[in-house]
Chain A
Amino acid sequence: MIEFRSVSYAFDDVPVLEDVSLSIDDGEFVLLAGANGSGKTTLLRHCNGLLTPDSGTVRVDGTPVEDDLIAARSSVGMVFQHPRDQFVSATVGADIAFGPENLGLERTEIDRRVDAALAAVNMTGREDDRIDALSGGEQSRVAIAGALAMEPTHLVLDEPFTGLDDPARRSVLERLASLAADGTGVLLATHDLRDVCELADRVIAMRDGRVVVDGPPANALGDLDGLEVRVPSG
Chain B
Amino acid sequence: MATNQTSVERVDDAVVRSFARAAVLAALMGAAVMVGSIPIPFSPVPVSLGVLVVYLMGLYLGPVWGPASVGLYLTAGAVGLPVFANGTSGLGVLVGDTAGYLWAYLIAALVIGALIHGRGQLENPAETSVPVLAAVLLAALTIIYALGTVWLGYMLKLSTIEALNLGVVPFIPGDLLKIVAAIAIVKGGRIDPT
A-B contact count (CB 8 A): 24
Chain A 55-72 per-residue mask, 1 if CB under 8 angstroms from chain B, else 0: 000000000000001110
B1-53, CB < 8 A from A: 1, 3-5, 7-8, 10, 13
Contact with B along A102-143 (1 / 0, CB 8 A): 111100000000000000000000000000000000000000
Q: Which of A32-90 contact B (CB under 8 A)?
A: 50, 69-71, 74-75
Q: A74 contacts B10, CB within 8 Å? A: no
B8's partner among A50, A75, A102, A151 (CB-CB below 8 A) is: A102
Check if B7 sits within 8 Å of A104, measured CB to CB.
yes
Q: Are B5 and A103 in contact (CB under 8 A)?
A: yes
A120 shortest CB reach to chain B, Å = 17
Interface of A is mostly: helix
B8 touches A70 (CB 8 A): yes
Q: In the complex, A50→B17 CA distance in Å?
A: 12
B1 contacts A151, C-beta separation under 8 Å: yes
Encode contact with B along A128-165: 1 for CB under 8 Å, 0 otherwise. 00000000000000000000000100000000000000
A71 CA to B7 CA, complexed, in Å = 12
Nearest Cβ on chain A to B1's Cβ, whole angstroms: 6
Whole-angstrom distance between the alpha carbons of A48 and B5 in the complex? 16
Q: How far is the CA of A74 from the CA of B5 in the complex (A)?
A: 9
Query: In the complex, what residue of chain A is closest to B3 when comparing beta carbons?
Result: A103
Residues of B within 8 A of A74 (CB): 1, 3, 5
- CB pair B10 A70 closer than 8 Å: yes
The reply to whether B10 and A71 contact each other, CB–CB distance below 8 Å, is no
Q: Say whether B1 contacts A70, CB under 8 Å.
A: no
Question: Shortest Cβ distance from B16 into chain A, in angstroms?
Answer: 10
Closest to B5 in A: A70
- Chain B residues with CB under 8 Å of A105's CB are 3-4
Find out whether the CB atom of B1 lies under 8 angstroms from the CB atom of A104: no
Do A75 and B10 touch (CB < 8 A)? Answer: no
A143 CB to nearest B CB, Å: 16
Distance between Cα atoms of A50 and B10 in the complex (Å)? 13
Residues of A within 8 A of B4 (CB): 103-105
Q: How distant is the Cα of A102 from the Cα of B5 in the complex, in angstroms?
A: 9
Task: Judge whether A104 and B10 touch: CB under 8 Å.
Answer: no
User: Which residues of chain B are near A103, meaning CB under 8 Å?
Assistant: 3-5, 8
Q: Which residues of A contact B8 (CB under 8 A)?
A: 70, 102-104
* B117 CB, min distance to chain A CBs, angstroms: 23
* A residues in contact with B13, CB < 8 Å: 50
Residues of A with C-beta under 8 A to B7: 104
User: Which chain B residue shows the least CB distance to A49?
Assistant: B13
Q: Separation in Å of the B17 CB from the closest CB of chain A?
A: 11
* A50–B13 CA distance with the chains assembled, in angstroms: 8
Contacts of B10 in A (CB 8 A): 69-70
Contacts of A70 in B (CB 8 A): 5, 8, 10
Report the minimum CB–CB distance from A68 to chain B (whole Å).
8
CA separation between A151 and B3, bound complex, in Å? 11
User: Could you write out 24 A-B pairs with CB less than 8 Å apart?
Assistant: A50-B13, A69-B10, A70-B5, A70-B8, A70-B10, A71-B1, A71-B5, A74-B1, A74-B3, A74-B5, A75-B1, A102-B8, A103-B3, A103-B4, A103-B5, A103-B8, A104-B3, A104-B4, A104-B5, A104-B7, A104-B8, A105-B3, A105-B4, A151-B1
Chain B residues at the A interface, C-beta cutoff of 8 Å: 1, 3-5, 7-8, 10, 13
3 pairs of A and B residues whose beta carbons are closest in the complex: A103-B3, A70-B8, A70-B5
Known: A71-B5, A74-B1, A105-B4. 15 other contacts (CB 8 A): A69-B10, A70-B5, A70-B8, A70-B10, A74-B5, A75-B1, A102-B8, A103-B3, A103-B5, A103-B8, A104-B3, A104-B4, A104-B7, A104-B8, A105-B3
